[in-house]
Chain A
Amino acid sequence: MAFSVPKPLHLVPHNTKIQFVPFFKACLSLSSILAVVTVVLLATVGLNFGIDFRGGLALTVQSNSGPADIAKLRSQVDALGFGESQIQEFGSPDKVLVRISPEDSQGGSAPLHGEELRSKVQGKVAQAIGENYKVVDGQFIGSTVSRELLISAIWALALTCLGIFIYIWFRFEWQFALGAIVALVHDILLTVGLFSALQLDFDLSIVAALLTILGYSINDTVVIYDRIRENLRKFKKMQLADLLNLSLNETLSRTVMTVVSTMLALVALLIFGGPVIMGLAFAILFGVLIGTYSSMFIATPFLIMIGVKRDWSGNEPIGKKTKAKASV
């Protein structure tokens, strides 16, 4: 059996010696600044919560001729600037439920109740969707995300981080565990910060995106840490900065391959996925970039900052945790 497969493409030459170390300080400072900016943004501007969180208006729209064209209605309603709408079939194909979350005139994010707002918004929507459709009913609706759900979600995330911390501590050292969590928090924070800065709709699918980013980021960090641990055992006398640089170079080819394949998938979602999936794809795309960046330029230099144990004699790291404080 003969194969005539063309030689695979090597995106990264095998003996790269890029100097990453000079960037470490700048990246740590830049990320700290961005993290502070995010906190300030969240405290002042806040997030532009979508209808899942704020509730809003539910309009029942009836088509006068045949089944309703949901995609067209969506683009017409979204163009009104009331944020992203949710449109679903309701009872029969010619009837749809349009849910929007209009903001009040002060630009605050509290949903406005009141007959005046309802009739105003309803009028605008009726105008936008044209004569083929008729708004037959309009009602205020509550949020689908209850307070309890949100609080339980935050608890679940916090405990997940704790679990990951303990696992990495067990498999590596506490410095690695701390570095991974710092990178993790960094990624989530900056993604949320981007949504605040651009005032993009923050809805339930973005929560799913944040979870995905969390998973991707931890995977990426663990892979690089794994190589660092291996090199710490192999090169006992090498300067820590040089050792980290070597590890990043050795894993660079893998990093590039994984990032590019993930990005290709996400770009496809962004281009072909339509308006509803776009928010999700955009958040994950940004998160993957920031997750890769944080593994290389936050989690790795963090090890220099807090100083990692250099005595890796013996192959099993387990059981040596007690010596962790005696680091160089």
Chain B
Amino acid sequence: MLYFNPWKTIAIILVSLASLLFAAPNLFHKEQLANLPGWMQLRMGLGLDLQGGAYFLLELDTEDLRKSWIEALADDARQNLRDEKVLFTSPSVVGNEVRVKIKREDQVEKAFARLKKLARPNFDLFSGSPDVEVVRDGKVIKLMPTETALNTRVTNAMGTAVEIFRNRIDPSGTREILIQRQGENRILLQVPGVSDKEAQEIWEQKINKPAVLTFQLVDQSMSVQEAQAGSPPPGSAIYKGADNSDEEGQYLLLQKRVIVSGADLVDAQQAFSQDSTRPVVSFRFNTSGAQRFAKVTRDNVNKPFAIVLDGEVISAPVIQEAILSGTGQISGRYTVESANNLAVLLRSGALPAKPKLVARQTVGATIGADAIKSGKQATLWAFFLVALFMVIGYGLFGAFSIVALIVNVAIIMATMSLLHGTLTLPGIAGIALTMGVAVDANVLIFERMREEMRSGKSNVLALEAGFSRAYATIIDSHLTGLLGGVILMWLGSGPIRGFAITLSIGIVASLFTAITLTRLIIATWLRWSRPNVIPL
């Protein structure tokens, strides 16, 4: 019998109503929803193709990249020569090379051999040529990065920067942002659906942040005032406290030596302090970072150290005891949101070079406002024609299937809204396919009912058999489609993923609407009207 127990009936009605409710905000303008509670304001985003957004053209500062490489090379040279116990004058950077003068003639050979080891094979696919040329000129040894090696570094840095921007701006991967490399050192970045103000925030907080994180000890050999009046001790420098941190407005004297850096972080998450009132950022070091941090904290109990982000101190706690676990917390005046932002920044790592803003624009939908308008109109026509045809073909039952179809689309929209998903043109194609498949499921059921009625079964039995026998076919066709959708969602990217997401949600929804919901509607109708003839 077409019997539903009351609880199941209530559950089906609740699911349908809830999805209509959660889908509804998408039909209104943002402004119209402003006074409603937060959960009523959840909407799916629209992709760049459907509503446009912010457009950034960025340029990576390759000169910055070259400079930092050469400086690192000078540091390496100093460290190596010290290890080799060679006497030398401090390495100097001249143009694109590092020069170091060895004091004693008899040590030049030893120093040269050591410095030659600094050259590593260029990470280029074809040539394994060294990335640094090491040349001897009397007592002077020159280290010169080659042009090809520099280009390789720029290319790698571009790849890294693209990944970092993606992680920073779209950590959940649902915003459908577009990032393209353009030419040698430019990156085109588009974020859908953001206002001018939000675009400014993205530039300030997500793009224009090097996110270089270091842990340094506080130099207590003299006070900050003394250092400011005179000069800081060698190997130390004065650092400013960052805005919105506990050190805001303060100046600290820190040792320049970096204990552990952001590169040693394996994870950073927003968390709460132990009394669980203040949002903090908790982090975890990798093994070598944890070992170095443990050693330094063991040797410096009761002394302060500083956490420095982009040259400003964000926290300067006192070491209470040796920290052996390799985990820690950064506290400050954070909200949940700002702590989360910092965690994302730390997780995605430091930018290899400074980004320069070449252009910023607000852009309209890529497929054009005119296409959106006619597309909406066409969709309404399409829906109307399908509804009309179903009613002509299956009468009252056709009308029932249209109700199920509306709930199906509502479920897709509600799910996308709750998941903060982004709808694109391929996503709409996914919804259209779902509607086709859902209509087909009802057609299969109704055709089966007709067959069963012709074979002489009584009304109720024929309807019941129509459902149960069409069921196997529907399950097979839906599961095949769902399997395809899930694989595409898993492996595909960009437009393919957008299509696969709406299709997968839609097919699961169709299993519910085309089978369960239609069945409930028909069963209820049967009980209320007790027809002698089924109008099919």
Contacts and interface: CB of A to CB of B under 8 A. Distances in A.
Interface string A137-172: 000011010100100110111011001100110010
Interface stretch (B101-109, B293-301, B318-326, B488-496): B488-496
B499 A272 contact: no
B432 to A, nearest CB: 7
Contacts of B366: 86, 88
B484 interface: yes
Given A3-B396, A8-B392, A269-B379, A277 B371 contact: yes
B372 to A, nearest CB: 9
Interface string B416-453: 00000000011001101101110110011001001100
A171 B366 CA distance: 43
Contacts of A96: 364
Contacts of B491: 152, 155-156, 159-160
Interface string A6-49: 11110100100000000000000000000000000000000000
Contact of A164 (B433, B437, B484): B484
A301 B252 CA distance: 82
Interface string A97-139: 1000000000000000000000000000000000000000000
A265 B393 contact: no
Contact of B386 (A8, A261, A274): A261
Interface in A212-229: 212, 214-216, 218-219, 222-223, 226-227
Interface centre among A144, A160, A216, A250 (most CB of B within 10 A): A160
Interface in B350-371: 361-371
A248 B443 CA distance: 16
Contacts of A152: 491-493
Interface string B331-348: 000000000000000000
Given A152-B493, A160-B487, A6 B395 contact: yes
A5 B392 CA distance: 10
B536 interface: yes
Contact of A14 (B384, B450, B479): B450
A307 interface: no
Contacts of B182: 141-142
Interface stretch (B239-247, B456-464, B469-477): B469-477
A273 interface: yes
B370 A226 contact: no
A260 interface: yes
Interface stretch (B30-38, B89-97, B527-535): B527-535
B368 A74 contact: yes
A205 B426 contact: yes
A134 B529 CA distance: 68
Contacts of A167: 479-480, 483
B480 A168 contact: yes
Contacts of A155: 491
Given A3-B531, A208-B499, A223-B440, A156 B487 contact: yes
B3 interface: no
A159 B396 CA distance: 42
Nearest to A86: B366
A152 B491 CA distance: 7
B265 interface: no
B429 A8 contact: no
Interface of chain B: mostly helix, strand, loop or mixed: helix
Interface residues of B, number: 78
B363 A89 contact: yes
Given A152-B491, A163-B487, A268 B378 contact: yes
B377 interface: yes
A324 interface: no
B429 A218 contact: no
Given A97-B363, A156-B492, A264-B386, A5 B477 contact: no
B374 interface: yes
Given A8-B392, A280-B429, A1 B371 contact: no
Interface in B153-212: 178, 180, 182
B503 A215 contact: yes
B382 A274 contact: no
Contacts of A6: 395
Interface of chain A: mostly helix, strand, loop or mixed: helix
Given A164-B480, A254-B447, A89 B364 contact: yes
B395 A268 contact: no
Given A14-B454, A88-B363, A274-B371, A8 B536 contact: yes
A74 B396 contact: no
B145 interface: no
A313 interface: no
A141 B366 CA distance: 15
Interface in A235-276: 250-251, 253-254, 257-258, 260-262, 264-269, 271-276
A209 B178 CA distance: 21
A70 interface: yes
Contact of A276 (B367, B444, B476, B481): B367
A265 B494 contact: no
B233 interface: no
Nearest to B425: A205
Interface in B26-68: 52
A219 B437 contact: yes
A222 B178 CA distance: 37
B341 to A, nearest CB: 28
Interface string B478-517: 0111011101100111111001100100000000000000
A211 interface: yes
Given A7-B395, A204-B426, A261-B443, 4 more contacts: A88-B369, A160-B487, A167-B479, A211-B429
Interface of A: 1, 3, 5-9, 11, 14, 70-71, 74, 86-91, 96-97, 141-142, 144, 146, 149, 152-153, 155-157, 159-160, 163-164, 167-168, 171, 204-205, 207-209, 211-212, 214-216, 218-219, 222-223, 226-227, 250-251, 253-254, 257-258, 260-262, 264-269, 271-277, 280, 284
